[in-house]
Amino acid sequence: MTSQCGSDSPDGGAVMSEIETAIFTIITSAGEARASLYQALDKARAGEMAESEQCMIEADTQLKKAHDVQTELITRDLNGSLPMSLLLVHAQDQLMTTMSEQSLIEHMIGLIRDIGMNGGK
């Protein structure tokens, strides 16, 4: 009888654990980045532009971390050693959504900065 967990092979459990760790790194890093992005927007709306910029830097750091892990997984996939899972699809979705939100929030903060410089005119 075969196990449903894929740990019948000598390294099957370890490989899956490594992949799951990578997937959760993408999810948590994207989530932390998203939180920093919205904090940056809140800071900008409050006129705290230096703090807003710091939050954007933190978000960018987290997104780079997630993107680096994603690149490692893509390399594994190209080598045919990455099992597909719903959790992996979720991680990809979280990362792509956060990257889109980053772009929008950067533009929104730019608008806030422009309005502030022009006195709302």
Q: Mind listing the pLDDT tens digit for each residue in 48-87?
A: 999 999 999 999 999 999 999 999 999 989 988 888 899 9
Domain ranges of the chain: 16-117
Can you say which residues are annotated as belonging to the binding site? 93
Q: What angle do CA 56, 57, 59 make, to 5 degrees?
A: 65
The CATH number that domain 16-117 falls under is: 1.20.58.80
pTM comes to 0.81
Binding site residues for Mg(2+), as ranges? 93
Residue positions annotated with a catalytic role: 90
CB 94 within 8 A of CB 30: yes
pLDDT of residue 13: 60
